[in-house]
A and B are shown apart, each in its own frame.
Chain A
Amino acid sequence: MQPDRHEVQVSVNGSAYRREVESRMLLSDFLRHELLLAGTHVGCEHGVCGACTVLLDGEPIRSCLMLAVQANGHELSTIEGLAQDTGELHPIQQAMHAHHGLQCGYCTPGILMTMMAFLRENPAPSEQEVREALSGNLCRCTGYQNIVDAMLVAAKAMRASVP
């Protein structure tokens, strides 16, 4: 192994991956270009836009602000793991579709991952709480209103599905 290269083992959406990468490789590039899980998008590479948000051990993180080697041994969740294997969409995805919460769809994966963690922490949020939780993710198309509506509906659906 070259001194600058390191083995990284991660679990992404329940599947195990092992790659040898440079220490400087961003986690976002690792997911997208090494694992070919390109659903995680990159918008700014300086941690502001939120498009690259994924869950690390269940917590939302900006994958452009973390190195792949730092994720070694951790569990990641990305947009590719949200829907059921049968293709059935998660309630949060269904709500985005029903309420026209996406236009170009580029910011959408980051928004969904941020909101997955938020709604787990706060299953019955107010509109203002949704807006605050969403404020770390930039969307240039929708004006946010339909995303907010979708999240309030998704929260309800997710509460109903918990036994």
Chain B
Amino acid sequence: MTTRFFGAAVKRNEDKKLLTGQALFIDDVELPGMLHAAFLRSQVAHARVKGIDPSKALKRDGVIAVYTAADLGAYWQSGPLLVPPPPVPGLVFNLRTHVPLARDTVRYAGEPLAIVVAESRYIAEDALDDIAVDLEILPAVVDLEKALDKDAIPVHGDLGTNIAAHVHQTKGNYRSVAAQADLILKRRFRYEHGMSSPIETRGIVAQWNARAQHMTVWDTTQAPVFVRNGLAGALGLGERQVRVIAPFVGGGFGPKIMMLYPEEAMLPWISMRLNRPVKWIEDRFEHFVATTHERGQIHDAEIALTRDGRILGVKDVFLHDNGAYNPYGLTVPINSQCTLLGPYVIPAYDSTFTSVFTNLPIVTPYRGAGRQHGVFVIERLLDLAAHELDIDPAEIRRRNLIPSDAFPYRNEIIYQDFQPLEYDSGNYEPVLDKALEAIGYADFVAEQPRLRAQGRYVGIGVACYVEGTGIGPYEGAKVRVQANGKVSVATGIGTQGQGHFTSFAQIVADQLGVDVTDVEIVTGDTDQFYWGAGTFASRGAVVAGNAVNEASRAVRKKALKLASDAFECAEEDLVLADGKVSIIGIPEKFIRLGELAQRANPMRGAVKPGTEPGLESTQYFGPPSGSTANGVHAAIIEMDPLTFELKILKYVVVHDCGTVINPMILAGQIHGGVAQGIGNAFYEKLSFDEHGQLLNASLADYLLPTALEVPRMQLDHTTTPSPLNPLGIKGAGEAGAIPVGPLFAQAIENALGLKQNGVELLEIPLSPSRLFELIRKGSKA
């Protein structure tokens, strides 16, 4: 097979629709007789619900219905657990999932209390003000440490504690290695991750067809198959009675997966009751509290090293802010726990975390999904050790990298995919070398004193990371040649801008000898493909991509078999190219793929026993475990020493995600990830007051990076194929976002000479005002 498209920077098939305003997004769905919903949300973080009176709202012109928990009957139940906890011995997990509408207690500001359905969105929102709510306000649990005090108010009264989970995992024996260490450093780290803030908020349209007994739901979800299954179960329908369509989705980055968001549970139920289509589009203010966050952890971590900077072990005890409910299980803190180990040989590791219920919005994965927190801790510990031992920060990393002959490398502890953490393949040192070369590390170190003498505060940072990607369980794909010769591909994952319409088409085009523009991809429609898990954990290209490849190979085999029967020749004598099968050496003797597809579905006559009709195949792929990508980011920055304004002078990413399908799309993923990382490192902080009120719930106050803050990036790649899938792919979606925090903490310390003044940057984000506080405090000490 020739690979004309695989590996090439093929331009995207989906662009034209998007560039001309013709792509269907959720709020573009218009249906006859459609109603509009608005949610009344709690304005306080913790309260007992004494009563809700919707009578005035019901009298408003255009209001069709108002529902509260009391109206839901048996439909009112706690949502399912999306991700059960992994099998870690001794694990404590207290499951408390969210409900469609709060009934007795509200547990975060923004939790829905009632829903209004009206003839227009304007009227529905007006009517929210008509609803009288009687709440008895309770003290809010906001501070992670105070939440665990003996006399803390429990977020879930029946639980009697705010411990959502407690997990202890070890590798080797930290205590014994620490006893032999030349240096032990211990610090407290705080890492806040923010909101994914896609430019499109969430939305749902539900349409019950009573005659057909069929539900169609358009949903901005990353996991349409699971929403279909969850809704069918909740509504008492068979899965075949429910079709979930994830149309074009305007960015996801993690939080567009839940099963089920309250709104996802409510809209279809209402459509069934009213027998009319209903739409709900989240507004941006709602999005800040109604869509899940990621937020913060507090780590008390220590590292034990030899005097030449080799890591002997790491001990870490951390608290994880889980929010008010835990439907997503332990994915985020488990990722933090596992990813802390990074690309380094860490012979002993002792890690314990406590996940804490708070009266704050729910925490679920957002691009990086807890990996950032772990990477921050290990990278900062190495910087502190480098300073203490007088070793160059890049050099201390090099000394600890896992050698290339040590793969597969076993880290023993259990990862988010329930498997013992094992890095499938890697070659880390060349990645570091390339990054240091590209950033001009040696030259910069030599030049820095001269810059300082000129009064310029310029600094450098280098950070390494691994990313567990491409986890199971599986995805599938149906590849079908149509009579017009075009190839249709359906898969169960959703798409939110990752370029699946192109990267999957490249795989198919090479296998079937067609042009990439002749391959039409359908994602996220459960009637087109029935099975699958979804788009998360940098797994779309790895898992669905390999399923597409397997199905394409099967169709190729079928096409060659059909053609060999038609030509009465051996399959080896045939070539599949340019949309047709021809006999080698006799190009005028050919059959077009479309014609073969028609022949594969004869109207009359007999077929051989065992014949499957159609030039199509459905195949599934499930990797044995996740594949581990890695990379190094390096940056040179300049700081204004008075205002702490940041200028990024140079930014380099060198990355290894195995075999690359489309380097253009990959670069885009890295660019976008870095941009989100920069937001996380400097600008984006969800600021809550002691009552659990989000103080900056607008895009004017929660600052996303603009074109002025995100620098030009210089990218390079190395390729270590994954042995865990035939295409050798590792995921790349989250790589750009992961190491940006520690990179900047290091570079700022370096630029301002903070370590020499006893100031350490042990937290993220580092806004100018926070830097001012930290440096003023540190200099006084």
Residues of chain A at the chain B interface (Cβ within 8 Å) = 22, 24-25, 32-33, 36-46, 48-49, 51, 78-80, 82-83, 89, 93, 96-98, 100, 102-109, 112, 130-132, 134-148
Contacts and interface: CB of A to CB of B under 8 A. Distances in A.
A41 B708 contact: no
A134 B705 CA distance: 12
B713 interface: yes
B200 A104 contact: yes
A128 to B, nearest CB: 9
B179 interface: no
Given A106-B199, A144-B707, A36 B30 contact: yes
A49 to B, nearest CB: 6
B631 interface: no
Contact of B283 (A32, A45, A89, A134): A45
A40 B21 contact: yes
A42 B27 contact: yes
A100 B664 contact: yes
A103 B199 CA distance: 12
Interface stretch (B247-255, B382-390, B593-601): B247-255
A89 B668 contact: no
Nearest to A40: B21
Contacts of B19: 79, 82-83, 89, 93, 96-97, 102, 105, 108, 112
B498 interface: yes
B14 interface: yes
A106 B11 contact: no
A140 B15 contact: no
Contact of B18 (A38, A108, A136): A108
Nearest to A135: B706
Contacts of B496: 104
Interface string B663-675: 0110110011111
Nearest to A99: B664
Contacts of B668: 100, 103, 141-143, 146
B712 A145 contact: yes
Q: Which 4 A-B pairs have the closest CB atoms?
A: A39-B21, A106-B250, A104-B497, A105-B18
B200 A43 contact: yes
A143 B198 contact: no
A147 B17 CA distance: 17
Contacts of A22: 122
Contacts of B713: 143, 145
B21 A79 contact: yes
B402 interface: no
A138 B706 contact: yes
Chain A interface mostly helix, strand, loop or mixed?
loop
A38 B21 contact: yes
B14 A105 contact: yes
Given A42-B27, A140-B704, A93 B675 contact: no
Contact of B710 (A24, A33, A145): A145
A43 to B, nearest CB: 4
A46 B699 contact: yes
8 contacts: A24-B122, A89-B20, A96-B19, A102-B18, A105-B23, A106-B497, A108-B19, A146-B667
A43 B707 contact: no
Contact of A38 (B28, B284, B736): B28
A138 B702 CA distance: 12
Given A98-B11, A103-B498, A49 B20 contact: no
Most buried by A among B27, B498, B665: B27
A79 B20 contact: yes
Nearest to B499: A103
Nearest to B22: A39
Given A108-B19, A145-B671, A134 B707 contact: yes
B18 A143 contact: no
Interface string B228-249: 0000000000000000000011
B197 interface: yes
B21 A106 contact: no
Interface in B1-39: 11-12, 14-23, 25, 27-28, 30
A114 to B, nearest CB: 11
In this complex, which of B11, B30, B675, B676 has the most chain A Cβ atoms within 10 angstroms of its Cβ?
B675
A51 B248 CA distance: 16
Contacts of A136: 706
A78 B198 contact: no
B700 interface: yes
Nearest to B18: A105
A142 B664 CA distance: 12
Contacts of B736: 143
Contacts of A51: 199
Given A78-B21, A141-B672, 15 more contacts: A22-B122, A24-B122, A38-B25, A38-B28, A41-B199, A42-B27, A45-B284, A80-B20, A82-B19, A104-B249, A131-B707, A140-B196, A140-B676, A143-B671, A143-B713
B173 interface: no
Given A37-B21, A45-B283, A138 B699 contact: yes
A107 B122 CA distance: 24
A104 B673 CA distance: 14
Contacts of B25: 38, 41, 106
B698 interface: yes
B16 A97 contact: yes
B502 to A, nearest CB: 10
B704 A46 contact: no
* B21, B250, B668, B707: residue with the most chain A Cβ atoms closer than 10 Å: B707
A127 B174 CA distance: 52
Given A41-B200, A97-B11, A138-B199, A105 B707 contact: no
A42 B248 CA distance: 14
A140 B499 contact: no
Contact of B20 (A25, A40, A82, A98): A82
Contacts of A97: 11-12, 15-16, 19
Contact of A49 (B14, B122, B199, B673): B199
A152 B145 CA distance: 51
B284 A46 contact: yes
A48 to B, nearest CB: 4
Contact of B21 (A80, A100, A142, A143): A80
A32 B29 CA distance: 11
Contacts of B667: 100, 146
Given A83-B20, A109-B21, A140-B676, A147 B200 contact: no
B704 A104 contact: no
Nearest to B736: A143
Nearest to A144: B707
A136 B283 CA distance: 19
A49 B665 contact: no
Given A38-B27, A43-B284, A146-B671, A89 B16 contact: yes
A147 B14 CA distance: 17
Nearest to B283: A45
A104 B22 contact: no
Contacts of B122: 22, 24-25
A126 B672 CA distance: 22
A45 B200 CA distance: 11
Interface string B688-702: 000000000011100
B504 to A, nearest CB: 15
A131 B699 contact: no
Contacts of A106: 25, 198-200, 248, 250-251, 497
Contacts of B30: 33, 36
A116 B291 CA distance: 33
A72 to B, nearest CB: 19
